[in-house]
Amino acid sequence: MNYHVVIPAAGRGKRMNAGINKQFIELEGIPVIIHTLRVFERDNLCQGIVLVINDQEREQFVHMLHRFEIKKVNALVSGGEERQQSVYNGLKAVNDGHIVLIHDGARPFVTIKKIHELVQATKGTGAAVLAVPVKDTMKQVIDGHIQKTVDRSSLWAVQTPQAFSMPLILDAHERAKKEQFIGTDDASLVERMGQRVVIVEGEYTNIKLTTPEDLLFAEAILRARGDQ
């Protein structure tokens, strides 16, 4: 089943301490956002990409898309104050399609195999997310003191893409906007409506680049894959 994807890339990424939008940081000479976009560019099921950006960086994005021959971006949409607002702006620019994916611009290592598994799960349920089981021991901490050890057997670290039927995720965003609710991710907006969200097991290499240390892991992943 075909899909469209909304990619928010308007955030400043302050924790990266790079002095620029982290989407522009280069890994092996290629900007992070291009690594991400290439995954969807290569996927035959992807029918179009909506890229949500900071208007002040529009010229840079246009130049990069042309330089690296990214053809599937059919809309450059202005972002909002919060990520949730940016995603909503992006969703409104999706022209058609029954399934829409929402994916972090700074998460360049998702595989087409996992994207297809996610789309297949969404076809039957209306909402699905990639996630991996938590590996570390988890503690609940208040004021610097451990309160208890949390059973990790039911804990999963959620990733993107997150995939939804288009009517469902639009309804979820519109309700959240009306009720002034800000969720931690897009799935949380759907969950609060009572809709079940399916987990599709992802890969631990599908990391989000958030802090400078993450760039070390990113370079190691690229070397291991032999990506150019």
> Considering the chain, what is the average pLDDT of its residues?
94
* Residue pLDDT, tens place only, 75-84: 999 999 999 9
Residue with tokens 């208040």: 142
Q: How many domains does the chain have?
A: 1
pLDDT at 228 exceeding the cut of 60: no
Q: What is the CATH number of the domain that holds 167?
A: 3.90.550.10
Give the structural domain span for 27: 3-225
pLDDT at 5 exceeding the cut of 80: yes
CB 100 within 8 A of CB 3: yes
* Residue pLDDT, tens place only, 126-181: 999 999 999 999 999 999 999 999 999 999 999 999 999 999 999 999 999 999 99
**3-class DSSP state for residue 106?**
coil
- Terminal CA-CA length for the chain: 29
Cα gap 158→156, rounded to integer Å: 6
> Averaged over 25-37, what is the pLDDT?
95
Cα gap 133→161, rounded to integer Å: 16
Cα gap 41→102, rounded to integer Å: 15
> The pTM is what?
0.94
Other beta carbons within 10 Å of 95: 10
**3-class DSSP state for residue 7?**
strand
Cα gap 97→4, rounded to integer Å: 7
